[in-house]
């Protein structure tokens, strides 16, 4: 029976932290820092495009607040975490005073999903930037 | 910021388009594989869109 392989230690944060930090700050910036210009452009196009469409659909933002029930609380906090992962896009949205109330309607609802999904897609971009910086991927 | 008003179908197609691009970029190792995977994801998104659309249509009859 094979003995389990010992886990290799991860690379030091100095190697990957700038790329991951930039990837969080602006979609595609981590790949740009790592000189993957084509992939950086596609990520920026897709994630920023999705986020801007969410704003143009007047999607409401989620806030970290308790709802009347557990499900609503989870949705609010989960959505807020998704927004945070959009980095500067979300911070600019707040700083520029975007405050869309939660209104009924399919377009608003899609807008909310676009805004959250942009952040979730940026998590994938951050993980990819980490793997490239750590040398696990070209 | 201009306001857009899209149908369910248009919004879902745009969602599929942008999501497929990111899936393709982050999950494969060569450009050719990335393009193929993005197209594959987009095709499945659209297939699911039509499938679920028909399912809801038939379920509400």
**pLDDT digit string, tens, across residues B6-50:** 999 999 999 999 999 999 999 998 999 999 999 999 999 999 999
- Tell me the whole-structure pTM to 2 decimals: 0.91
Query: Testing the interface with B: which of A20, A23, A41, A46 to mutate, by most B Cβ within 10 A?
Result: A46
Searching chain A, which residue's CA lies closest to the CA of residue B27?
Answer: A128
Q: Which two structure tokens, joined as six digits, stand for A53?
A: 């469409």
Contact A50 B18 (CB under 8 A): yes
Model pLDDT, residue A2: 62
Model pLDDT, residue A99: 86
Model pLDDT, residue A103: 81
* Sign of the dihedral through C-alpha A60, A108, A56, B40: positive
Searching chain A, which residue's CA lies closest to the CA of residue B7?
Answer: A107
Model confidence at A102, in pLDDT bands (50, 70, 90)? confident
Q: What number is the ipTM of this complex?
A: 0.92
Contact A49 B18 (CB under 8 A): yes
Minimum distance, in Å, between the CA of residue B2 and any CA atom of chain A: 6
Which residues of A are less than 8 Å from B6 in CB distance?
57, 107, 110
Mean pLDDT along residues A20-25: 97
Nearest CA-CA partner of A117 in A71, A69, A82: A82
Contact B21 A46 (CB under 8 A): yes
Task: Give the count of beta carbons closer than 10 Å to the beta carbon of residue A13.
Answer: 10
């Amino acid at each position: 029976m094979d003995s389990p392989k010992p886990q290799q230690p991860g690379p030091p944060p100095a190697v990957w932290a700038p790329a991951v930090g930039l990837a969080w700050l602006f979609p595609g910036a981590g790949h740009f820092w790592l000189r993957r210009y084509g992939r950086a452009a596609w990520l920026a196009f897709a994630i920023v495009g999705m986020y801007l469409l969410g704003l143009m659909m007047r999607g409401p933002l989620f806030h970290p607040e308790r709802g009347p029930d557990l499900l609503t609380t989870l949705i609010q906090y989960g959505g807020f975490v998704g927004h945070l992962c959009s980095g500067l896009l979300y911070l600019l949205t707040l700083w520029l005073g975007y405050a869309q109330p939660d209104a009924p309607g399919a377009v608003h609802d899609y807008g909310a999903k676009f805004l959250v999904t942009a952040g979730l897609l940026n998590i994938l971009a951050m993980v990819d930037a980490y793997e490239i910086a750590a040398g696990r991927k070209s | 910021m201009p306001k857009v008003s899209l149908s369910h179908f248009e919004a879902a197609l745009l969602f599929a388009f942008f999501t497929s691009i990111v899936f393709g970029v982050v999950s494969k190792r060569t450009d050719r594989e990335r393009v193929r995977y993005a197209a594959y994801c987009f095709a499945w998104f659209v297939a699911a869109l039509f499938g679920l659309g028909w399912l809801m249509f038939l379920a509400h009859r």
